[in-house]
Amino acid sequence: METINYLLQGAQVAFEPMNLMFCFIGVLMGTMVGVLPGLGPTAAIALLLPVSFHIPPVSTIIMLAGIYYGAMYGGSTTSILVNIPGEAASVITCLDGYQMAKKGQAGPALGMAAFGSFIAGTFGVVGIMLVAPPMSKFALAFGPAEYFSLMLMGIVIIIFMSSGSILKDLMIAVFGLLLGTIGMDSISGTQRLTFGVLELADGIGFIPAVMGLFGVAEIITNVERIVATTLVTDRVKNLLPTLKDWKESTWPILRGTVLGFFVGVLPGPAPVISTYASYAMEKKLSKTPEKFGTGHIVGVAGPEAANNAASSGAMIPLFTLGIPANSVIAVLLGAFMIHGLQPGPMFISNYPQVFWAAIVSMYLGNVMLLVLNLPLIPLWVKVLKVPYPILFPLILIFCLIGVYSLNFSQVEISLMIGFGVLGYLLRKFKFEMAPLVLALVLGPMMEKNLRMALLMSQGDPFTFFKRPLSAVFIGVCTVLIFSVLIPGIRKKREKMQETLGEEEA
Amino acid sequence: MKKYNLLASLFFLGSGLFFTFYARSLEIGTIEEPGPGFLPYWAGILLSGMAVLLILKTLISNVFEEVVFFPEKDSWKRVGMVFLALVAYNLLLKPLGFTLVTFLFVGFLLKAIFPQGWITTLVTAALSTLGARLLFVNFLELQFPKGLLGF
């Protein structure tokens, strides 16, 4: 009953005309960045953060969350029509989606991707609604030791799941922690490495860092060579799947939804992993596995459902623990903090309106995406025809203006360019961005909790092992780090790295 | 890849040592009462240690992986020009003003990176500058440097 009351309150906020408009803008922008290859949801959310300063916090969260799940919808369009994934979570859709398009079945492929995404997205939101509140209550028992260990576990899991070498990923995470120490120390007030620059007193700006690492670095990598996009067809017909398509796809969509949601809760590039897991599972369960890769609708329906459900699942650690599960959620966390909202165990009870309005807006956003996306496919086809050489200067100018308008300071632009160079070189040297971003965001919180835990335990380093929950988190970290030394696990990880590496290339 | 790993290791070794030595100028504190230099000091040591480990691992590795830094002959020119354009935008924003520098920035990138025709360049640069002005200056009412043109 309480939940329904909260939902109704959330609906009141979400249905306000302004919030409806921002939900619409969010899902539309999300679909667009999903459609456009070379611009992911992380960069898109970072780009829109400065614009969100002028918008109330609830509307900001509604809009930015819309970008995230909207991108999952949009990514499939490019995979199916161009055979280039619009974003990483749609790589697997290329396999069967593009083959379907080549056979003249682009319409049903796009239609089923949209319906699968809608079903999974809606179930995913129900999942958040059911899981997040009890998980928040559980997290209330957390002290500084648990928080520190949990954040450490988040970083270790993302390192374990990422596609780089463990040593390199550990190095980049520690480097992120160090960068996070720049600025005023939150306990003693001491200035650290600010060199008298006012803009650095609050630490390295998260937005210039993310825009540099994901926006500028990505564009610079893309201009290295001309990537021509060739549309397989610019006329898409019969978007509504047939009864036969539904019969084949219903169970894969439902399985993809459940799988994606639970994979999403775990830290790491969950939407990407969930699509691979869903595809592999469907192929294994299928009576006709040989059809996969030749234009089988199941190969589109399952993974597309999985990545949408995973994007919903990834919201749970953010809302309940204040911990981002991946780099997109890390940028969302930055948005919460900029607007003075601190996600964590108290978030749902402190800001019920924001949480429940966000939930209701996600239902609405999913409906909007379904209603709008199919009719808008001709528009996305036109967007795909805009050549990258014309598009990239516009993205860069958006980055520059966005980052300047944070504090109307050129220091922020310099920081963004610096992080752009760093991100470009790190990609070349095969370092992962996700551990760096996560460590940079979590660093200040980790430092504060580490020092508080040590202060409270009078310098007992075993406090992290004496508290049961903290001990479990530290145990998971230890197992993950040392498991890499086990040959079987190492091989599996290397295999996953190869697959993810191919997808990133 | 060996060369890149060594370069990266040296960068991280330098960064680790820098943070470690800098942290010594702050109060490191004790384990009972950690100070503002505590985390930078220990994390700096950890990073330096890992960098040394990567150097050793790279030096003793027998795997020779040929990595091409730039995929095309003139990739470096395009990469360099984009970076220079970004730096120039930052330097010229105040003296030239938002409108002019935005127009020049977009125009330069269109003409220099993947060269477009003059009409496409001028029309796209003009439309994007106009769009940026309408969105950021007129609609969101953000204040940008006016520069020598005064708008």
Distance from CA of B34 to the nearest CA of A (A): 6
Contact assessment for residue A23 and residue A364, using Cβ atoms and an 8 Å cutoff: yes
Whole-number Å distance between alpha carbons of A278 and A302: 6
pLDDT above 50 for B10 = yes
Digit-coded pLDDT (tens) for A1-57: 677 888 888 888 889 999 999 999 999 988 888 887 766 777 778 777 777 777 888
Higher-confidence position of B140 and A216 = A216
Q: Which of A13-27, A224-238, B29-43 has the lowest mean pLDDT?
A: A224-238
Digit-coded pLDDT (tens) for B62-110: 776 677 788 888 889 999 999 999 999 999 999 999 999 999 999 999 9
Question: Which one-letter DSSP state was computed for residue B143?
Answer: -
The total number of structural domains that make up chain A: 1
Q: How big is chain B by its Cα radius of gyration, in Å?
A: 24
B137-145's contacts with Cβ under 8 Å and 24+ in sequence apart are: B137/B98, B140/A51, B140/A54, B140/A405, B142/A405, B142/A408, B143/A408, B144/A401, B144/A404, B144/A408, B144/B93, B144/B97, B144/B98, B145/B93, B145/B94, B145/B97, B145/B98
Are the Cβ atoms of A193 and B1 closer than 8 angstroms? Answer: no
pLDDT above 60 for A503 = no
Are the Cβ atoms of A167 and B57 closer than 8 angstroms? Answer: yes
Burial A301-331 (b: 16+ CB within 10 A, else e): bbbbbbbbbbbbbbbbbbbbbbbbbbbbbbb
Distance from CA of B108 to the nearest CA of A (A): 9
Mean pLDDT, residues A386-400 taken together: 87
Whole-number Å distance between alpha carbons of A77 and A61: 25
Highest mean pLDDT out of A348-357, A438-447, B123-132: B123-132
Are the Cβ atoms of A396 and B53 closer than 8 angstroms? Answer: no
Q: Which residue of B has its CA nearest to A403?
A: B90
Digit-coded pLDDT (tens) for A128-180: 888 888 888 888 888 899 989 988 888 887 787 666 788 898 999 999 999 99
Higher-confidence position of A452 and A373 = A452
Grouping H, G, I as helix, E, B as strand and the rest as coil, residue B84 is helix
Are the Cβ atoms of B46 and A413 closer than 8 angstroms? Answer: no
A225 interface with B at CB cutoff 8 Å: yes
What letter represents residue A152's amino acid? L
Beta carbon pairs, A and B, within 8 Å: 163
Q: Which domain holds residue A92?
A: 2-504
Are the Cβ atoms of B47 and A171 closer than 8 angstroms? Answer: yes
Cα B59 → chain centroid:
29
Are the Cβ atoms of B143 and A408 closer than 8 angstroms? Answer: yes
Q: What is the ipTM of this complex?
A: 0.93
- For testing the chain A interface, which of B46, B109, B113, B144 should be mutated: the one with the most A CBs within 10 Å? B109
In chain A, positions 201-220, which contact chain B (CB-CB < 8 Å)? Answer: 216, 219-220
pLDDT above 90 for A232 = no
Q: How many other CB atoms are found less than 10 A from the CB of residue A62?
A: 32
- Which chain A residues are within 8 Å of B93, Cβ to Cβ? 404, 410, 413
A15-18's contacts with Cβ under 8 Å and 24+ in sequence apart are: A15/A360, A15/A364, A18/A56, A18/A59
Are the Cβ atoms of B79 and A447 closer than 8 angstroms? Answer: no
Are the Cβ atoms of B50 and A174 closer than 8 angstroms? Answer: yes
User: Which pLDDT score, from 0 to 100, does residue A504 have?
Assistant: 42
Grouping H, G, I as helix, E, B as strand and the rest as coil, residue B34 is strand
pLDDT above 80 for B143 = yes
Digit-coded pLDDT (tens) for A480-497: 888 877 766 666 666 665
Higher-confidence position of A106 and A269 = A106
Mean pLDDT, residues A306-329 taken together: 85
Task: Express as a percent the part of chain A with pLDDT over 90.
Answer: 18
Q: Which residue of B has its CA nearest to A171?
A: B47
Are the Cβ atoms of B69 and A428 closer than 8 angstroms? Answer: yes
A393 interface with B at CB cutoff 8 Å: yes
Sheet strands (E) in B29-146: none
Burial A39-53 (b: 16+ CB within 10 A, else e): bbbbbbbbbbbbbbe
* Predicted TM-score (pTM) of this structure: 0.81
A455 interface with B at CB cutoff 8 Å: yes
Are the Cβ atoms of B82 and A414 closer than 8 angstroms? Answer: no
Distance from CA of B148 to the nearest CA of A (A): 18
Cα A257 → chain centroid:
17
Question: How much is the mean pLDDT over chain A?
Answer: 84
Mean pLDDT, residues A362-387 taken together: 83
User: Which pLDDT score, from 0 to 100, does residue B107 have?
Assistant: 96
Q: Which of A388, A397, A428 is nearest residue B128 as measured by Cβ atoms?
A: A397
- Which chain B residues are within 8 Å of A390, Cβ to Cβ? 110, 116, 120, 124
- Which chain A residues are within 8 Å of B136, Cβ to Cβ? 401, 405
User: Which pLDDT score, from 0 to 100, does residue A432 have?
Assistant: 83
Are the Cβ atoms of B83 and A390 closer than 8 angstroms? Answer: no
User: Which pLDDT score, from 0 to 100, does residue A505 have?
Assistant: 37
CA-closest candidate to residue A469, choices A133, A153, A130, A132: A153
Distance from CA of B43 to the nearest CA of A (A): 6
